[in-house]
Structure 1
Amino acid sequence: MSIETPVGGPRLLAQGPIATVYAGRDPVTGNDFVVKMFPGSFDRETSAWLERERKALASVRSTRSVLQIDDVTAYPDGRSGLRRELCPGSLAGLLDSGTRLGVSDVLALGAAVASALAAAHGADVLHGGVSPHNVLYRASGEFVLADFGVALRRRFPRDPMYAVEYTAPETLRDDTLSPSSDLYGLGAVLYTALTGAPPFPRHTGQQPGERILQVLREPVAPIQEAGVPRELSGTILRLLAKEPADRPQDVASLARLFTKLRLPGGEVVTGESFDVPGEEEAVDVEFDDFAEVHRPAAPALLAPVQVVQAPPASGRTLIREFSGPLKAERMVPWRPIAVAGAGVLVAGLAVVPLFLGPAQIGGQAVPVAAAIPPPSPASAPAPDVKLALAPPRDQSDHVQLTWTAEGELDFVVVMAGERLETKQLVAHRQRGLDVPVDPARRYCFQLRATDGRHVYTTDPVPIRGARCNP
């Protein structure tokens, strides 16, 4: 495959934390296309998985809102890439520019994305990450959904905090991907397009852990935009239900509903339609988790965060360090120990410090701080949930933690390590966790829990002679 452009070389469209996206022109047909170049090659398992997904999607090519992968190519420098149709822009680009979609346009968006998901799910293909970044539009104004499939998401995992406001609670808890989690993404996209803000927008000074707890527990604010049909707003809120079983189950019927509401008599108040950039205008193209991630500058005292995902079946786990955009990724050995509910590991829930007492290492005092959030204000006293963290069982290269509590709670384990960044491990509703540790370091552990109204905290407990100061 060759890439031809008017200036004699590929045109860079987007540089993201994972892939680089180029525009090109086929010298034979004259058709424009894009190539997504990945930082490495597709191994045999990924290639086979990707080919199955690609063939399955090709079987639903008649659904125009499914953006197909036209070719998979290995390059001499060891990188692999995907070739597909060039679209003028993305929904994310439209929203970032301040464009507001009218109700009729949101319904067209919903019908297109729901139809794409219905076709893909019928072919046994998940999307795995629906967000405004992978909802694109053609020059005709048609919305299409790109970046289907799980194979490349597993081969090149992204920053878990990227697009967290479009991520289903069960995906945050334990990395579950399902048709229902795709529907949650659809609901979040429609909510954003309709209101101009995602279901859980980031607030100034808000830490990653707080956003995760929002998605896990807090209800979504009602849609109060003028002229929005109640059937549409109610459907979007159902799509954003915390429990998968409470969301609509038939995505094809959703596509029919959105189409019906656009018809005369569908009680739709049509707003201003957005303008599709002309062919001569410069456009920005974003592609899912491979587009440049723009984030507010982190506070000066915010330490880099280390994210540990649950080990895959291959017996290895991916550790990625980031402070803002993803900076590095590397594979490290993983011992076969259970990590219950290790969905997302984050740092900095808030502001009250927990200190690992000074430890004399090489004659120097080494304080280590962990950030703990204060309880949320509540009008009624918090019930006694009898939250208790048992003494940790030190197994040299990992620590076994168990705890007890009454009621249905979500748990976060806070770990402060000697000369290490503070870590917080979301444990979902498990009552135990095996945490990998450095055999040569001291640690303090604290347990936090929430019922959606109150935050509960245990006293910190040490291992290996650490002194934990609450």
Structure 2
Amino acid sequence: MSIETTAGAPGLLAQGPVATVYAGRDPATGNDFAVKMFPGSVDRETSAWLERERKALAAVRATRSVLQIDDVMAYPDGRWGLRRELCPGSLAGLLDSGARLGVPDVLALGAAVASALAAAHGVDVLHGGVSPHNVLYRASGEFVLADFGVALRRRFPRDPMYAVEYTAPETLRDDTLSPASDLYGLGAVLYAALTGTPPFPRHTGQQPGERILQVLREPVAPIQDTSVPRELAGTILRLLAKDPADRPQDVASLARLFTKLRRPGGEVVTGESPDLPGEEEEVDVEFDDFAEVSRPAAPPSPVHRAQPPVQVVQAPPSGGRTLIREFSGPLKRERGIPWRPIALTGAGVLIAGLAVVPLVLGPAQVGGQALPVAASVPPPSPASAPAPDVKLALAPPQDQSDHVQLTWTAEGELDFVVIMAGERLEPKQLVAHRQRALEIPVDPARRYCFQLRATDGRHVYTTDPVPIRGARCNP
């Protein structure tokens, strides 16, 4: 199979220490995918080992956070690669951009990665190198874990200093790879996502030997943020224990713990996530992402991550709500898109996910790329002066079938976010920063509503929702 570049753009996506990742397009189906290309061929033993790992992982395909290898692709020039699902980006890219995940995001990340490791370990497959570089996210905002297996790590060894801050002490000491070393990687990833830095960050002028000694001997700095639950902070530090025997032994229990801490009231949720509707099924989804809410007394978490589409979320006992409800049966075309403005009193949370209580929101998008989180911005003090009239106005959307062009006007230096809700789609936040226009990809067959929000750091300004294609944005 040949590789075509997607949308006329260069096919190169990322360059790692060993392999190079390209975006491809199947000329027969038009479907996009990613190919991880390796610099040389593999021997028969490595090929057989890789195929065993691939078949074992295929048996746990129901675990959505395991990113599968869909095909092995060989090329006439001797190179070969692994074909897999195309994801918009990685956790490493988010952290490099300065984003710091809030507690709900870290719990979602932990549940996803722990579930993936539990499934893989259950079929005797190790990951061998958990780091933010192989924690990817789908366009829906779901975190997934890629690059499972030891076969290729042995065939194409990387520089031992690459991602050393995420490598278990026993792996640095004698190249040991085990379920316990995978758990250390999980702990290091969660630590970095929560604090913004890895457990042992590199210092200017530091020699490689000093960094390795840090991992081998020095204790990890405790997590000082008082907003982090002690159970979460303690679990992360146990995962980073020097001795593998001192780390948690049951990764499936870890996944359940992270899921428990995510839920209102701390109840444990068992079983698989609700199945997503198939192409042949039609569901009626009410988008009440804009229902009025009351601000809690305590400051909210700065960032809230998107949940899988049409996931049913149980309403919290107080101060919370069910944001997306799924109704079975045929879609009722006469139903509008429910749309109620959110009550915001802290302007800073606009860029941090527009959340003042625990929310389940769609992924933010910057420049057309879906992101599960936005950078953390602490909420400012409530404004005492009345909000000025900034004359915020959203122009009628220009519908171009597969995309919509939005433009708006306002007075003053403001940051903008567009809220998009559509039929049977999860609402999304599209961060425009200080731009006054945004081009948004859409499904030509769906109806949409758009709302513009802005902040000057002290106040939040909101327009009325604007529909396209006859949608009704119900109050």
- TM-score scaled by structure 2? 0.58
Q: How many residues align?
A: 284
Which residue is equivalent to 2:368? 281
SS of 1:69 mapped into structure 2: coil
Measured in 2, the distance between the counterparts of 1:258 and 1:83 equals 31
1:271 is aligned to 2:302: yes
Q: CA shift at 1:195, angstroms?
A: 0.5
Which residue is equivalent to 1:259? 259
Question: Cα deviation per residue 1:156-180 (whole Å; 9 max; x = unaligned)?
Answer: 0000000001000000000000000
Q: How does 1:134-283 map to 2 (within 5 A)?
A: 134-266=134-266, 270-273=301-304, 276=363, 278=365, 281=368
SS of 2:153 mapped into structure 1: helix
Which residue is equivalent to 2:381? none
SS of 2:149 mapped into structure 1: coil
SS of 1:21 mapped into structure 2: strand
Question: Cα deviation per residue 1:263-305 (whole Å; 9 max; x = unaligned)?
Answer: 1123996332367454962589xxxxxxxxxxxxxxxxxxxxx
Q: Retained in 1: the 8 A contact 2:36–2:81?
A: yes
Amino acid in the other structure paired with 1:272: V
Measured in 2, the distance between the counterparts of 1:244 and 1:277 equals 38
Q: CA shift at 1:21, angstroms?
A: 1.1
SS of 1:106 mapped into structure 2: helix
RMSD value, Cα:
2.0
Which residue is equivalent to 1:87? 87
Q: Retained in 1: the 8 A contact 2:50–2:152?
A: yes
Larger relative contact order (CA 8 Å, sep ≥ 6): 1
Which residue is equivalent to 1:65? 65
Measured in 1, the distance between the counterparts of 2:201 and 2:8 equals 42
SS of 1:66 mapped into structure 2: coil
Which residue is equivalent to 2:51? 51
Measured in 1, the distance between the counterparts of 2:196 and 2:366 equals 26
Measured in 1, the distance between the counterparts of 2:263 and 2:9 equals 46
Q: CA shift at 1:59, angstroms?
A: 0.2
Measured in 1, the distance between the counterparts of 2:200 and 2:214 equals 7
Q: How does 1:311-350 map to 2 (within 5 A)?
A: none
Which residue is equivalent to 1:365? none
Which residue is equivalent to 1:23? 23
- TM-score scaled by structure 1? 0.58
Deviates more, 1:273-282 or 1:195-204: 273-282
Q: Retained in 2: the 8 A contact 1:139–1:278?
A: no
Amino acid in the other structure paired with 2:165: E
- Identify unmatched segments of 5+ residues in structure 1: 285-470
Question: Cα deviation per residue 1:121-169 (whole Å; 9 max; x = unaligned)?
Answer: 0010000000000000001000000000000000000000000010000
Deviates more, 1:111-120 or 1:35-44: 35-44
Measured in 1, the distance between the counterparts of 2:71 and 2:170 equals 33
Q: Retained in 2: the 8 A contact 1:10–1:24?
A: no
Q: CA shift at 1:30, angstroms?
A: 2.4
Question: Cα deviation per residue 1:394-448 (whole Å; 9 max; x = unaligned)?
Answer: xxxxxxxxxxxxxxxxxxxxxxxxxxxxxxxxxxxxxxxxxxxxxxxxxxxxxxx
- Identify unmatched segments of 5+ residues in structure 2: 268-297, 306-352, 354-362, 372-475
Measured in 2, the distance between the counterparts of 1:261 and 1:135 equals 21
Q: Retained in 1: the 8 A contact 2:63–2:119?
A: yes
Identity of aligned residues (%): 86
